[in-house]
């Protein structure tokens, strides 16, 4: 009979006497308590949906600050000149250094610093030289790589592909690579003095399309040829610096 009464005390007494209803009562009380005290609910209560202010997510804030810092262009460039022994790396750098500043030609060409102008802007360029693929990892941060081979030695192109390219891409997957065919003058020598040439060098020189074919097989690999004559070494270093600059500051320099 007590159940039919509307008085709370009577009905409660009935609930307390019945274990099933006691459990349901505790369960419902707990739910009510949790809902009224949960932070989500309280924040929704205190701020009507029309006035909700969504704070900028952390990743967006980081992105914003990166934009600002990118406006100050990083002018320090690290280049690596790599390739088999004897392909002509030191000769190219020597020729460049003599042309740029004959008073500061380094004794060894394992590393040296220079200044390179690209689009009327001056960059401090550190150049490291390496003739063994195992040393690639020692470079640390590098902004562009010049992978050299010898146009007069077809084996050096094979080595560029199997000995160097895969190792470079593994160690530096996104860094721009300039595949550089050195000793270009040897092609002219072959044309003009074929017999003499073949007496000295047992194979015909490589064709330009063979080098280009290898470059095209990989992402972000450009092709260039040169010899130590004239301004050709300068062109190689300038192009490498430009590629490095675009790699380092992709947004601000995309216009150049
Ligand atoms: N014809 C011709 N010969 C070159 C040219 N560049 C270099 N050589 C010759 O190639 C040979 C090797 O040149 P290096 O510059 O010592 O080669 P490297 O790549 O520095 O070799 P390592 O220091 O052993 O790694 C030298 O006898 C150079 O005279 C070039 O443009 N044309
Ligand atoms: Mg050398």
136 in a structural domain: yes
Please report which ligand is nearest the Cα atom of 83.
1
Task: Provide the residue range defining the domain that includes 137.
Answer: 76-248
- Distance from the alpha carbon of residue 102 to the mean position of ligand 1, in angstroms: 19
Residue 200: which CATH number? 3.40.50.300
Best substitution site from 83, 86, 110, 153 to test ligand 1's pocket, by max atoms within 8 Å of Cβ?
86
pLDDT tens readout for residues 217-240:
999 999 999 999 888 999 999 999
242 in a structural domain: yes
pLDDT tens readout for residues 175-189:
999 999 999 999 999
78 contact partners, CB below 8 Å, separation of at least 6? 125, 126, 128, 139, 140, 141, 142, 143, 244
194 contact partners, CB below 8 Å, separation of at least 6? none
Cβ contact 201:155 at 8 Å? no
How far is 173 from 180, CA to CA, in rounded Å? 19
69 in a structural domain: no
108 in a structural domain: yes
Nearest-CA residue for ligand 1 atom 23 is: 85
pLDDT tens readout for residues 32-85:
544 544 443 433 343 434 443 434 333 333 333 344 444 445 789 999 999 999
For 106, which DSSP code?
Answer: -
Our CA angle for 50, 51, 53, nearest 5°, is 120
50 in a structural domain: no
153 in a structural domain: yes
The DSSP element (H or E) to which 22 belongs, if any, is: helix 19-37
Sheet of 121-130, strand order? 111-118, 121-130, 76-83, 144-150, 177-182, 221-225
Q: Could you count the other beta carbons within 10 Å of the beta carbon of residue 72?
A: 9
pTM of the model: 0.73
Average pLDDT of the segment spanning 248-252: 72
Please report which ligand is nearest the Cα atom of 232.
1
Q: How many domains does the chain have?
A: 1
Instruction: Map tokens 């390179």 to a residue.
Output: 116
61 in a structural domain: no
How far is 1 from 10, CA to CA, in rounded Å? 10
Show the ligand 1 pocket: residues with CB < 6 angstroms.
Answer: 85-91, 131, 182-183, 185-186, 227-228
189 in a structural domain: yes
- Distance from the alpha carbon of residue 218 to the mean position of ligand 2, in angstroms: 26
- Distance from the alpha carbon of residue 130 to the mean position of ligand 2, in angstroms: 8
């Amino acid at each position: 009979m007590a159940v039919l009464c509307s008085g709370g005390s009577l009905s409660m007494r009935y609930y307390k006497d019945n274990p099933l209803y006691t459990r349901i009562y505790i369960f419902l009380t707990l739910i009510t308590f949790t809902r009224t005290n949960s932070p989500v609910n309280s924040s929704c209560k205190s701020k009507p949906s029309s006035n909700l202010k969504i704070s900028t997510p952390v990743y967006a804030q980081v992105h914003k600050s990166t934009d600002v810092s990118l406006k100050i262009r990083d002018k320090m460039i690290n280049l690596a000149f790599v390739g088999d022994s004897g392909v002509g790396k030191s000769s190219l750098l020597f020729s460049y250094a003599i042309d740029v500043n004959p008073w500061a030609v380094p004794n060894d060409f394992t590393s040296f610093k220079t200044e390179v102008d690209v689009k009327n802007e001056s960059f401090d360029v550190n150049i490291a030289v390496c003739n063994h693929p195992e040393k690639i990892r020692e470079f640390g941060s590098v902004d562009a790589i010049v992978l050299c081979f010898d146009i007069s030695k077809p084996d050096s192109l094979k080595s560029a592909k199997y000995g160097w390219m895969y190792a470079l891409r593994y160690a530096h997957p996104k860094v721009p690579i300039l595949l550089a065919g050195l000793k270009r003058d040897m092609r002219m020598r072959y044309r003009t003095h074929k017999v003499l040439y073949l007496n000295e060098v047992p194979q015909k020189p490589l064709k330009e399309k063979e080098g280009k074919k290898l470059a095209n097989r990989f992402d972000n690999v450009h092709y260039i040829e040169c010899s130590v004559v004239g301004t050709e070494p300068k062109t190689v270093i300038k192009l490498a610096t430009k590629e490095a600059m675009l790699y380092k500051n992709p947004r601000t320099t995309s216009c150049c």
